[in-house]
Amino acid sequence: MNNVLNITNGDCAVEIMQKADIPGVFLPWRDVLHDGPVPEDLTLEQLSAVRAQFISDQGWGESEFIKQSFIDRDNTLKSFESYDKVILWFEHDLYDQLQILQILDWFYTHNLSSHPLSIICVDQYLGRLSPDEILTLFEYEEPITESHLSLSSEAWSAFRSTTPDNWFALLKTDTSVLPFLQGAILRMLEEYPSCVNGLSRTAQHALNIVCEGEKYPGKIFARYQETEERMFLGDSSFWLILNEMLVSSPALLVLSEGKLLGLTVNPDDELSISNAGIGVVSGKKNWLDIVELDKWIGGVHLTSTNIWCWDSKISSLVHKT
């Protein structure tokens, strides 16, 4: 069967799949859904416009090109009936799991389960496989069932809700049909501000690494990746987190050259931790008392009047009013 739509997590995977002569058309999803707004009650096209604007605002590409890439992506998805089969190729990490939820929710809400759909989801990073290795993944292909679709729709709705309650409740839901979803749910919750010092898990690890003496952003990012059981964060997303700590008043981090880390990092840039940063990372100060909170996690807009914190000791959410 050559008339296949292969949907996957990005261009690196597509390149390897093409080298492996996997038949069909390739659709990289290309969206960092763990960053920025993913509000509820929007159509695919409306949400794509929001996501394109967010990505453009970060300086991650030219605005019109980004908008058009989302339009092209959505049009390819909507043309799925012109293919004999659709295969989803994804990984176990948060980045991929959110993409799976979005795609399967779209099929579920359009009552399209009768079309041949299957999924390959493994605990391997597709972009690191050789062409021969990626061919072996066909043995993990399984048909997408109503259980896959209904769970994805429930989870996608929970992720886009204005509060994280439903997302948190998924931890007590049977999600075994998507075996890596539980880990992704928990990892997303860990990006909420800590009840102890207001830092996300990623920000805490970043400051710890700087405290230990590492000063070069590239090396800090590499060491941060070692802290992840399932790596999901790209360097551009990591710079966003560091930049938040560079511009707070007082700043938690200080950059030797310039004020912010750009899309391309100067190899001579050096980061150091400020006294305020030392106070926060040690738990003596709370970053939420310093920063003007304005952060989206899915459909939750965190602000100074809408603060949700993660208590890692009891693995629970706390709403501060």
Over residues 75-89, the mean pLDDT reads 95
pLDDT value, residue 247 = 92
Helices in the chain by DSSP H: which ranges? 11-19, 44-57, 63-78, 94-109, 131-135, 146-160, 165-169, 181-189, 201-211, 217-225, 235-247, 275-281
pLDDT value, residue 1 = 66
pLDDT value, residue 66 = 97
pLDDT value, residue 110 = 86
- HSE-up of residue 124 (Cα within 13 Å, Cβ side): 15
The predicted-structure confidence for 181-232, as pLDDT tens digits, reads as follows: 999 999 999 999 999 999 999 999 999 999 999 999 999 999 999 999 999 9
Over residues 135-157, the mean pLDDT reads 97
CA distance 91 to 114: 24
* Residue type for position 175: T
Is a pLDDT exceeding 80 seen at residue 113?
no
pLDDT value, residue 111 = 72
Two structure tokens written together for 308: 């949700």
- What domains can you pick out in the chain, each with its CATH number? 4-189 (3.40.50), 201-292 (1.10.10.10)
